Amino acid sequence: MRMVFNVRAFSPTITIIIALMKQTILTVVAVTSLVQAYGFESSWDVAHDKTKSALVKLNLTEKVGIVTDITWEGGPCVGNAYATGSIKHPSLCRQNSPLEIRFATPVTAFPARINAGLTWDRSLMNARGAALGTEAKGLGINSSRDQSPAGNSVVMQKTIQGIQDSGVQAYAKGYIGNEQEYNRSTISSNINDRTLNELYLWPFVDAVKANVASVMCSYNNIESQWDMGI
């Protein structure tokens, strides 16, 4: 597939799109490089340098493919990453579900995260995450996204550790204020700074401390601004 743009006619728009795309690709490829090539102990500087060197090898079609995926549910997973041979970026299989592995059989329906939290047993929370990760890896899934953390951040942290110890990347989602499904792409979650930082942001901070592979933004607005810009 070849994509051709009339750059002269739409040069201001194209410039903005490419600038935003470049930042997104830097993040996507840097995180992938960090996780795949160096594990979780390497620095951002190393991953960022690898990303910049990789960008010059990508054509426009590959850049668009990396940040948009193949299609929604157009493969074995919910999200299926575009493979780029020029930098050996694989087609990652991304899956999500609060209880089990979606679109796959046979799979285990695990207890919900809130039930794991009510046990107050951190080792059990970790074991649940490890079981989810092991089952995902066995089905060829590279990345697993858990739902937005409505409970305590310990559950999220232990689940992430369990999943990633099994060799599967964990995504923390949805950042931030994604607390309902109805009209989730159009509503605005109006949250004051103190509530945002002390209640909603805390689990994501612990997710980062747990070396989560990536964070997925949510679809809603925050104070009438797109969430992905917060």
Backbone angles phi, psi at 226, to 5 degrees: -60, 130
For the chain, the domains span: 1-91, 93-230
One-letter amino acid of 106:
P
Gap between the Cα atoms of 201 and 178, Å rounded: 12
Q: What is the pLDDT of residues 192-230, one digit of tens each?
A: 998 888 888 888 888 898 999 888 888 899 888 887 655
Backbone angles phi, psi at 193, to 5 degrees: -60, -40
Q: Give φ, ψ of 132 to 5 degrees.
A: -60, -45
Backbone φ and ψ of 207, nearest 5°: -65, -40
The whole-number average pLDDT for the span 32-48 is 60
Half-sphere exposure of 28 (CA within 13 A, CB side): 24
Higher pLDDT: 97 or 9? It is 97
181-192 per-position pLDDT tens digit: 788 888 999 999
Question: Do residues 116 and 124 touch, judged by C-beta distance below 8 A?
Answer: yes
pLDDT in tens, 82-115: 888 888 877 777 777 666 667 667 778 888 777 8
Burial of 210 (0-12, 13-18, 19+ CB in 10 A): buried
**Strands of the sheet with 169-175, listed across from one edge:** 79-80, 93-96, 143-145, 169-175, 214-217
Q: Given pLDDT bands bounded at 50, 70 and 90, which one contains residue 57?
A: very high
pLDDT given at position 73: 62
Distance of CA 118 to the CA centre of its chain: 26
CA–CA separation, 118 vs 139, rounded Å? Answer: 29
Q: Are 43 and 84 in contact (CB under 8 A)?
A: no
CATH 3.20.20.300 holds for 93-230? yes
Mean per-residue pLDDT, 27-44: 51
51-55, 76-80, 160-164: range with lowest mean pLDDT: 76-80
Element housing 145 (H / E):
strand 143-145
Is a pLDDT exceeding 70 seen at residue 74? no
Whole-angstrom Cα distance, residue 137 to residue 167?
Answer: 7
Tokens describing residue 111: 């207890």
Residue 10 has pLDDT above 50, yes or no: no
For residue 41, how many other CB atoms are within 10 A of its CB?
A: 7
